[in-house]
Amino acid sequence: MKEYCRTTLDLIYLYIDEEILSESQRREIRVHLEECGPCYERFGLQRRVTVIVSRQRRHSSCPQELRTRISHILFQS
């Protein structure tokens, strides 16, 4: 995986949640996702996981250990 892809994917949850990132960072990520098929696929998966987790969060809380394990699996290269 290219370093720029890794950097983009490290920020993808902030992008999905519309948190903390500046408009220029959001634009860079958006352009990268449009140009990079593998990152776009990973983004789509992470976005779906985020939606599922947020739905479930309303019903129960997720233990921190499980969150860490899920993050590790998602960001594994």
User: Which pTM was predicted?
Assistant: 0.61
Three-state secondary structure readout of the chain: CCHHHHHHHHCHHHHHCCCCCCHHHHHHHHHHHHHCHHHHHHHHHHHHHHHHHHHHHCCCCCCHHHHHHHHHHHHCC
Q: What is the pLDDT of residues 5-46, one digit of tens each?
A: 988 888 887 888 877 789 999 999 999 999 999 999 988 888
